């Protein structure tokens, strides 16, 4: 009988260096762009806040890494430690990765390592996972002692099927959409607007500037100042291989629209984008998105994830819905009452937001105005 895999709890990012190549291979094989170490560690170095302590779990079969649990401990009020995933709150579909077929073994090793970690986890939060993701339940099942798993929020996340290529996808859209896309592309060209794909730092700056301009009229964006550092570092690592691209539209006076896409294997995810509202009549944001989709399909991507939210433009483009879910694992022990008390306000907010998403559009719009969004 082969020995059970062993786990290594890593508290310093440099101690992950021997495993970065294997980690990246697992992210690519799993089709999880935001689980690539270049992305996650860029966020760790440039994007984390508060009292955050790296607690990544490397699962080894001999000297071979067969799984990664990319966690960190967030220590907050009452000194309670909430274990979260690298990149949580900055991107979605993050989580552990493992060799196909060995997820159960890897989950058992991750659960044992986290349960024995210091500070002791009062909760383990899985934020923005694919609703079909088995990891929360697998880790709960193997948690030493009793643990509860609750679902906090579910969110729609439209996705595009590119299995038949870009033209195949475009052919499934309605005739009006195809006509509008051709017309606006022609009009933008007449105005001197050209598109290109790049990962240079100037494109990141333009992307974020356009993103914030787009969200000004909606009460502002929740993307903070740390995003530039995270995206620039990730682009330096992933851009050379084409796995991170900014689809950038530029006119005579500078950038007018941009979309950032990250790829891994046959999957691509849109992180975010924006456009200059002065160009809104020519729908430059849609043209940037189409440029990114065409490039992704040419690179072998079979599914493109548009991210959380049921925005009308996403529904118009999508072929399917791949919902996101927020789940919390709560070890039942002496810390349990305190963490439930601490998490109660957050869970109530999430429940209210979840309920608001079920309201008719006119009521949701009214609520958004009241909240100043």
Residues 80, 110, single domain; the answer is yes
Residues 123, 235, single domain; the answer is no
* Side-chain-side CA neighbours of residue 133 (13 Å): 28
Residues 330, 202, single domain; the answer is no
Examine residue 275 and state whether it is found in any structural domain, yes or no: yes
Residues 74, 185, single domain; the answer is no
* CATH number where 127 lies: 3.40.630.30
Position 372 confidence tier, pLDDT thresholds 50, 70, 90: very low
pLDDT tens-digit readout, 287-312: 999 999 999 999 999 999 999 988 88
| Cβ neighbours, 10 Å, residue 105 | 19
Question: Can you give the pLDDT at residue 352?
Answer: 66
Taking the C-alpha atoms of residue 18 and residue 36, their distance in angstroms, rounded to an integer, is 15
Examine residue 315 and state whether it is found in any structural domain, yes or no: no
Question: Can you give the pLDDT at residue 371?
Answer: 47
Residues 301, 339, single domain; the answer is no
Residues 275, 301, single domain; the answer is yes
Residues 123, 55, single domain; the answer is yes
Q: Which residue is listed with tokens 């955050």? A: 52
Question: Can you give the pLDDT at residue 288?
Answer: 97
Provide the residue count of the chain.
373
Beta strand pairing call for 121-130 and 81-85: parallel
Share of the chain above pLDDT 70, in %: 90
User: Measured between alpha carbons, how far is residue 73 from residues 38, 82, 182, 229 in Å?
Assistant: 20, 6, 49, 22
Could you give the residue ranges of the DSSP H alpha helices within the chain?
20-30, 37-46, 103-115, 135-142, 165-172, 175-190, 201-216, 227-238, 284-298, 312-317, 336-357, 361-370
The boundaries of the domain holding residue 343 are: 6-157+323-370
Q: Would residue 220 be called left, alpha or beta, if left means φ above 0 and alpha means ψ between -120 and 50 degrees?
A: left
Question: Can you give the pLDDT at residue 200?
Answer: 96
Mean pLDDT for the chain? 92
Report field, pTM of the whole predicted structure over 0.95 = no
Spell out the residues 6+ positions from residue 277 whose beta carbon is closer than 8 angstroms to its own. 213, 214, 216, 217
Question: Can you give the pLDDT at residue 359?
Answer: 56
Taking the C-alpha atoms of residue 67 and residue 65, their distance in angstroms, rounded to an integer, is 6
pLDDT tens-digit readout, 239-282: 999 999 999 999 999 999 999 999 999 999 999 999 999 999 99
Residues 208, 337, single domain; the answer is no
Position 214 confidence tier, pLDDT thresholds 50, 70, 90: confident
Tally the domains of the chain.
Answer: 2
Taking the C-alpha atoms of residue 329 and residue 124, their distance in angstroms, rounded to an integer, is 5
pLDDT tens-digit readout, 82-103: 999 999 999 999 999 999 999 9
pLDDT tens-digit readout, 134-158: 999 999 999 999 999 999 999 999 9
Residues 150, 174, single domain; the answer is no
Residues 76, 28, single domain; the answer is yes
Residues 152, 164, single domain; the answer is no
Residues 255, 334, single domain; the answer is no
Give yes or no for residue 361 having a pLDDT over 90: no
Asked whether 70 and 16 are in contact (CB, 8 A), the reply is no
């Amino acid at each position: 009988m082969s020995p059970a895999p062993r786990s290594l709890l890593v508290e310093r990012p440099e101690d992950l260096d021997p495993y970065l190549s294997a980690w990246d291979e697992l992210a690519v094989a799993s089709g999880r762009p935001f689980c690539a170490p270049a992305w996650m560690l860029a966020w760790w170095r440039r994007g984390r806040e508060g009292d955050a302590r790296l607690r990544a779990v490397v699962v080894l079969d001999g000297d071979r890494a067969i799984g990664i649990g990319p966690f960190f401990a967030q220590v907050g009020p009452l000194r309670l430690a909430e274990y979260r995933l690298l990149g949580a709150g900055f991107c979605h579909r993050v989580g552990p990765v493992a060799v196909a077929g060995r997820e159960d073994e890897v989950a058992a090793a991750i659960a044992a390592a986290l349960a024995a970690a210091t500070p002791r986890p009062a909760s383990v939060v899985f934020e923005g996972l694919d609703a079909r993701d088995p990891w929360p339940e697998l880790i709960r099942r193997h948690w030493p002692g009793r643990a509860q798993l609750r679902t906090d929020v579910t969110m729609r996340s439209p996705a595009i099927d590119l299995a038949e290529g870009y033209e195949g996808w475009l052919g499934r859209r309605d005739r009006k959409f195809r006509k509008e896309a051709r017309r606006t592309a022609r009009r933008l060209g007449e105005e001197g607007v050209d598109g290109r794909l790049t990962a240079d730092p100037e494109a990141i700056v333009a992307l974020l500037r356009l993103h914030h301009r787009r969200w000004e009229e909606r009460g502002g964006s929740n993307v903070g100042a740390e995003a530039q550092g995270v995206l620039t570092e990730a682009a330096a690592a992933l851009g050379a291989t084409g796995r991170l691209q900014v689809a950038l539209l530029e006119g005579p006076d500078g950038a007018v629209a941009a979309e950032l896409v990250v790829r891994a294997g046959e999957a691509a995810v849109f992180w975010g984008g924006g456009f200059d509202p002065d160009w809104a009549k020519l729908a430059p944001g849609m043209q940037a998105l189409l440029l990114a989709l065409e490039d992704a399909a040419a690179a072998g991507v079979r599914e493109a994830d548009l991210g959380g939210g049921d925005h009308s433009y996403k529904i118009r483009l999508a072929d399917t819905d791949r919902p996101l879910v927020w789940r919390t694992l709560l070890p039942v022990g002496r810390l349990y009452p305190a963490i439930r008390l601490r998490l109660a306000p957050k869970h109530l907010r999430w429940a209210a937001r979840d309920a608001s998403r079920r309201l008719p559009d006119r009521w949701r719009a009214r609520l958004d105005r009241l909240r100043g969004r």
